[in-house]
Amino acid sequence: MSDAQPAPHMAGGDLGPLEGRGKETLLEGLWYNNPIAVQVLGICPALAVTNKLSTSAVMAAAVFFVMTGTTTIVSSMRRIIPQRVRLMTQMAIISTLVILVDYYLKAFHFEISRQLGPYVALIITNCTILGRAEGFGLQNNVPLSALDGVSNALGYASVLLVLGATRELLGSGTLLGATVLHESWYEPNHLMILAPGAFIALGFLVAAYKAIKGPEEEEEDTP
């Protein structure tokens, strides 16, 4: 796991509950080490449900709940989890949270759950979440781990929302179902709501991200 290393610039000074690493932790997931843009993790749902902004938003919210919940719970249990069953424990926690969300959507937001199909349940296999639990939650205190969960979930969500908005706009000419680009002058590009469009849009998004972030020496030991 490459993401467990402390970042270069420690804030230092008096150590609160966040050990002076609050801002850095928040920015890591949100920007410098964004789960999708940098690590290219968890892209299955990022590609599958982003053909509409509404489904992207619900998926983002579901991942937020599961990710934050998981890092918090795993961190609070980090001293009592036996080394040998730590992955099983993390998976049990993730699965439980995901099924809670899945049932919630099926019971109270049926229409959107129908549109998301199996992808809510598939959050269980979103490696970003297990990655944060294993790489961060197990080693850090509860407030910091919760913040790490929030940060990565927001980082993940922002990519999902941008992808969802772009693909819906270009692919259907609408945003949240409301017509933005009228068919009289804009011919919707159906490619954008199909799977290949997802890959193309994600590629452009990652390229744009790298362009904004600027060049950097590639020293990460990508697994």
Chain positions contacting other proteins, by CB under 8 A: 51, 80-82, 84-85, 88-89, 92-93, 95-96, 99-100, 103-104, 106-108, 110, 114, 171, 188, 190, 193-194
Alpha-carbon separation of residue 217 from 24, 30, 31, 169 (angstroms): 20, 20, 17, 35
CB-based contact 119:48 (threshold 8 Å):
yes
Minimum Å gap between C-beta 137 and other proteins is: 15
Burial of 168 (0-12, 13-18, 19+ CB in 10 A): buried
CB-based contact 154:29 (threshold 8 Å):
yes
Q: How many residues are present in the chain?
A: 223
Minimum Å gap between C-beta 186 and other proteins is: 14
Minimum Å gap between C-beta 107 and other proteins is: 4
Taking the least distance from each CB to other proteins, the nearer of 88 and 208 is 88
Measured CA angle at 55 (ends 54, 61), to 5 deg: 95
Helix H or strand E segment including 179: strand 178-179
* 11 three-state secondary structure: coil
Minimum Å gap between C-beta 189 and other proteins is: 9
Taking the least distance from each CB to other proteins, the nearer of 27 and 122 is 122
Q: Which residue has the tokens 């991942």?
A: 63
Minimum Å gap between C-beta 70 and other proteins is: 12
Taking the least distance from each CB to other proteins, the nearer of 59 and 147 is 59
Helix H or strand E segment including 149: helix 142-172
Taking the least distance from each CB to other proteins, the nearer of 10 and 85 is 85
Minimum Å gap between C-beta 92 and other proteins is: 5
Taking the least distance from each CB to other proteins, the nearer of 104 and 209 is 104
Task: For residue 104, give the amino acid letter.
Answer: Y
Taking the least distance from each CB to other proteins, the nearer of 89 and 125 is 89
Number of C-beta neighbours around residue 87 at 10 A:
13
